[in-house]
Amino acid sequence: MKPISRRDILSQSVVLGAVVAAGLPLAMAEPPTQKPPQRKVVVAGGHPGDPEYGCGGTIARYTDLGHEVVLLYLNRGEWTDKPAYDPAPVRVAEATKACAILKARPLFAGQIDGKSIVDRAHYDQFHELLKTEQPDVVFTQWPIDNHPDHRAISLLVYESWLRSGRKFALYYYEVSNGEDTVQFNPTHYVDISATEIRKRSACYAHASQSPDRYYALQESVTRMRGIESGHKQAEAYIRLTQSPDFGLPCVT
């Protein structure tokens, strides 16, 4: 808390005196509370579940602060090599449930699971979609990753950031280190000790995706990032230094 200076006390006395003199109710003497600007945050991931596993605790902190958060999934988790069973409706329902837990909104970019395409036409299509959202900040997967869909979303976001005139802040996140994300050296951390429980629920909403196995792996990462940053659990990021630095709340 900021110590109260003599100058503060004097200026408050002047305000109070003026209020009493004007016969106004005393409640009006309280200084207006300064609300931080509301940010539009997009968290992009290759599949339903990636944004929740990588950034779920951060997302919960932002939505609790009143910021608008959109989870943008590159595909719906469909398996095109098994046409007899299309899990996409299940994956979409799981993503919708996860977003409700985090107070975020799901959005799908319309590509096919395991068959991501990164070419001129898909750069155009993805940029139109992201532009419509008008984000202040975008979190996306780190591009050095063993899954092609994760690499694809990273490149699509980066191209859109360039086309936007480098207007939004850009952060990279990690998912299933070693198996997926590789060689990730964080520059920033978010303490998720208080929101980890909601992150866990959002990840477990993806019940078809072996959450016992994958959440345990991700939790070992957030505990390690917590040790690095002095918290019980933390999510870690790499900020693209050429992107604007809004001094995001919670990010240290």
# residues contacting Zn ion (CB under 5 A): 3
- Burial annotation 22-47 (CB, 10 A radius, 16+ → b, else e): eeeeeeeeeeeeeeeeebebbbbbbb
Residue numbers 231-250 binding Zn ion by CB under 5 A: none
Taking the complex as a whole, how short is the minimal distance between the CB of residue 196 and Zn ion, in angstroms?
20
Nearer to Zn ion, 38 or 146 (CB): 146
Nearer to Zn ion, 46 or 135 (CB): 46
DSSP H helical ranges for the chain: 6-21, 50-64, 88-102, 120-133, 148-163, 196-204, 211-229
Q: Is the CB of residue 237 less than 8 Å from the CB of residue 139?
A: yes
Nearer to Zn ion, 46 or 106 (CB): 46
Taking the complex as a whole, how short is the minimal distance between the CB of residue 229 and Zn ion, in angstroms?
25
Nearer to Zn ion, 44 or 251 (CB): 44
Taking the complex as a whole, how short is the minimal distance between the CB of residue 35 and Zn ion, in angstroms?
35
Nearer to Zn ion, 39 or 147 (CB): 147
Taking the complex as a whole, how short is the minimal distance between the CB of residue 84 and Zn ion, in angstroms?
23
Q: Which residues contact 66 (CB under 8 A, 6 or more apart)?
A: 35, 38
Residue numbers 106-135 binding Zn ion by CB under 5 A: none
Taking the complex as a whole, how short is the minimal distance between the CB of residue 46 and Zn ion, in angstroms?
4
Q: Which residues partner with 173 through β-bridges?
A: 141
Question: How far apart (Å, rounded) are the C-alpha atoms in residues 204 and 49?
Answer: 9
Question: How far apart (Å, rounded) are the C-alpha atoms in residues 169 and 59?
Answer: 15
Nearer to Zn ion, 203 or 248 (CB): 203
Taking the complex as a whole, how short is the minimal distance between the CB of residue 209 and Zn ion, in angstroms?
9
Taking the complex as a whole, how short is the minimal distance between the CB of residue 2 and Zn ion, in angstroms?
44
Give the residue closest to Zn ion by C-beta: 47
Q: Is the CB of residue 171 less than 8 Å from the CB of residue 237?
A: yes
Q: State the DSSP code for 145.
A: B
Neighbours of 170 (CB within 10 A): 24
Residue numbers 42-101 binding Zn ion by CB under 5 A: 46-47, 50
Q: Is the CB of residue 168 less than 8 Å from the CB of residue 138?
A: yes
Question: How far apart (Å, rounded) are the C-alpha atoms in residues 61 and 247?
Answer: 15
Nearer to Zn ion, 50 or 196 (CB): 50
- By rule CB under 5 A, what string of x and - marks binding of each residue 6-45 to Zn ion? ----------------------------------------
Question: How far apart (Å, rounded) are the C-alpha atoms in residues 85 and 225?
Answer: 38
Residues lying near Zn ion in the complex (CB under 5 A): 46-47, 50
